Structure 1
Amino acid sequence: MSTGTHEIPARMQAVVVHGPEDYRLEEVDVPKPDAGELLMQVEAVGVCASDLKCYHGAAKFWGDENRPAWAQTGVTPGHEFVGRIVGGDDAGLARHGVRLGDRVACEQIVPCEECRYCLRGQYWMCGPHDMFGFRNFNGAMAQYMLVPTRARVHRVSPDLEPQHAAFAEPLSCALHAVERATISFDDVVVVAGCGPIGLGLIAGARAKNPRLLIALDLDDDKLELGRRTGADLTINISREDAVARVKELTDGYGADVYLEGSGAVPAVAQGLNLLRKLGTFVEYSVFGSDVTVDWSIISDDKELDVRGAHLGPHCWPAAIKMLEDGKLPISDICTHQVPLAEFQKALDLVGDTSGASVKVSILPNA
């Protein structure tokens, strides 16, 4: 295995899943890459709302009722990450188009390349659906991790701060959701939530240049961040009726597009009610509980297009370019960084409903 000039230790620190609300920092062996695999020294890993729901055993996993609602026992969590390649053979480096020392980010999913979805080019809906930090592949809450042969790897500028570079993952997800919305220039677009995904939705929708882009949230500071990310108008739904306000702005018709990125159960009915007839609803959230709505709104009342969005297929290059070009107020989005030893603090910050954090990251080698 080639390692260049980087000295790789024999042991490292890693978070290991033992069950819901039982994540432990342990000393483990640094993994050794097999033929075609690469070794990454992790620089930053973002903590996602889905990580938190998984930690509490409340996540809904990709329509598979046979899977538990938490990460696989023995796996290291963390799927939003960036790091430097410090080991691997020539075949692995050539396959991924990288060199030792390159900074890279990997897509969340490790596609099987054999199921009907992968064979049709729809790799993000891979049947087995192995993902870093959830199932069969260790994630990045560790000092080092393996990049398997089937991983989808993207190079990232070394000039970005590590926590900013790791934001490519949620941003790519948001851009995919925006693409699912097929936004037109004359559209009124509403984004629910100004958290990490919601801000990415705003940035992506802004790039589509709709006539009016509206952001919704309960927190004034996050709404201000939404405005700085590209929203034309913000509405604090704790003080104002968003449905009535949007209809007032649209001659009583309603919005053309609603992008749901909050993961809050009430946001679903809110979106259905503030959309116009023949409008488009795009859902991008991992809910912690079941959502019930009046389906007659979707059908007989409005004939809505309701679309899901999952992961960030084909959007990673655009997301990385947006970050490298400084298109987002990323320093104010990435609010908290903690060392690996304080991983529990990172989870608690994400779960803090006071709005103290926006994007929380762990820096495993800081």
Structure 2
Amino acid sequence: MRGVISRKKGEPVEVVDVVVPDPGPGEAVVKVTACGVCHTDLHYREGGINDEFPFLLGHEAAGVVEAVGAGVTSVEPGDFVILNWRAVCGQCRACKRGRPHLCFDTFNAAQKMTLTDGTELTPALGIGAFIEKTLVHSGQCTKVDPSVDPAVAGLLGCGVMAGIGAAINTGGVSRDDTVAVIGCGGVGDAAIAGSALVGAKKIIAVDTDDKKLEWARQFGATHTINARTTDVVEAIQELTDGFGTDVVIDAVGRPETWKQAFYARDLAGTVVLVGVPTPDMKLEMPLIDFFSRGGSLKSSWYGDCLPERDFPTLVDLHLQGRLPLDKFVTERIGLGDIEAAFEKMHRGEVLRSVVVL
């Protein structure tokens, strides 16, 4: 199969021939229909995840199950699925305590996809979907309504789910809440869309780019703040009668944005970190501030989602016209256009480029 790999740190990606084995026990081969270009794929290329090169990139994907291995009963050939990177085990201590969204022992395919010379590939987030067909664990396949646009559905596999889940699952945003979202890329705008979906009365979008702030309004932001020209904490307090918002979601993941989130929330409010920091980042703050302000400080990993519960529901809401997932798709591209898509992402020109096969 033709697939996109990152061979060495920082070098341009390549479209090469990849050997995809027949599915073994518990595995499935999925014909990829569409796959979003996520910032995590760029992190892999830059060596920001690990150094297990070469990587088979791509993970925000939807497609059709083509074949399954022995013992697979959850999906069958012909099923339209979204791929997820948290196939829960059902046996670890989190699963047994009724918290499968926190599963500590998620599944991936046991076999490796390889280059034609036998070199094993590391699939991005255990998926590797910038390819015509990919091999995954069957638990990574979540069936959804096949009438949805695959380019839209695939985005639920990572960034959009992370943002919606950060608001609803982790942050517990509900009707009449006030919410601020710092960082209005794909994840931040998804958090805004999720907050609007559940009826938040005031949704404040924060970014340094006016274009991104305009995008945020399309997903439900009621107010916008340009952090390049305005004090974020003061502006959020002014918009909330001096109190701060009930929930602040940091979709950037830097010490300075986290501090803004911390001080921009109401007393006993909630901070949700969904932006991914780098390992070298440090946070220094007075400990008394943590004690005196109360509330909750949370991190959100994959939006604390349970794919088999959340993916079908969100697809149905989209098909009902209640969740504008189609607005995340900025452009549709081919396998050979991914390097250019990375450059557009870096410049902030797109929410999502989506590879359509």
TM-score, with length taken from structure 1:
0.82
Residue 223 of structure 2 is aligned to residue 233 of structure 1: yes
**Aligned counterpart, 1:127:** 104
Match of 1:299 among 290, 298, 318: 290
Shift of 1:250: 2.2
Identity over aligned pairs, percent:
27
Shift of 1:257: 1.0
Match of 1:210 among 197, 200, 209: 200
**2:56–2:128 Cα contact (<8 Å) kept:** yes
Residue 330 of structure 2 is aligned to residue 325 of structure 1: no
Distance 1:76-1:186 versus aligned 2 partners, 3 A rule = same
Distance 1:324-1:272 versus aligned 2 partners, 3 A rule = same
**Aligned counterpart, 1:64:** none
- Tell me which stretches of 4 or more aligned residues in structure 1 moved more than 4 Å: 128-132
Residue by residue, what CA displacement relative to the aligned partner does 1:263-290 show, whole Å, maximum 9, x if unpaired?
Answer: 3443111111211221110111212351
Q: 1:1-366, aligned counterparts within 5 Å?
A: 12-22=1-11, 23-58=13-48, 69-70=49-50, 72-88=52-68, 91-92=71-72, 95-96=73-74, 98-128=75-105, 133-134=123-124, 137-149=126-138, 151-169=139-157, 170-178=159-167, 179-288=169-278, 289-296=280-287, 298-311=289-302, 312-313=305-306, 314-352=309-347, 355-363=348-356, 365=357
> Which structure 2 segments of 5+ residues have no match?
110-122
Shift of 1:223: 1.6
> Which structure 1 segments of 5+ residues have no match?
1-11, 59-68
Shift of 1:201: 0.6
**1:175–1:319 Cα contact (<8 Å) kept:** no
Distance 1:295-1:164 versus aligned 2 partners, 3 A rule = farther
Shift of 1:105: 0.5
Distance 2:91 2:294 in 1: 36
TM-score, with length taken from structure 2:
0.84
**2:182–2:250 Cα contact (<8 Å) kept:** yes
**2:68–2:76 Cα contact (<8 Å) kept:** no
Distance 2:340 2:283 in 1: 33
Shift of 1:236: 1.9
Distance 2:254 2:322 in 1: 27
**2:148–2:319 Cα contact (<8 Å) kept:** yes
> For 2:56, what is the secondary structure of its paired residue?
coil
> For 2:225, what is the secondary structure of its paired residue?
strand
Distance 1:297-1:204 versus aligned 2 partners, 3 A rule = farther
Amino acid at match of 2:342: L
**Aligned counterpart, 2:120:** none
**1:277–1:302 Cα contact (<8 Å) kept:** yes
> For 2:66, what is the secondary structure of its paired residue?
strand
Distance 1:74-1:124 versus aligned 2 partners, 3 A rule = farther
Distance 2:300 2:58 in 1: 20
Corresponding pairs, count: 336
Residue by residue, what CA displacement relative to the aligned partner does 1:302-334 show, whole Å, maximum 9, x if unpaired?
Answer: 123101111122422332223323334444421
Amino acid at match of 1:160: V
Distance 1:131-1:33 versus aligned 2 partners, 3 A rule = closer
**2:197–2:323 Cα contact (<8 Å) kept:** no
> For 2:82, what is the secondary structure of its paired residue?
strand
Amino acid at match of 1:47: V
**Aligned counterpart, 2:114:** none
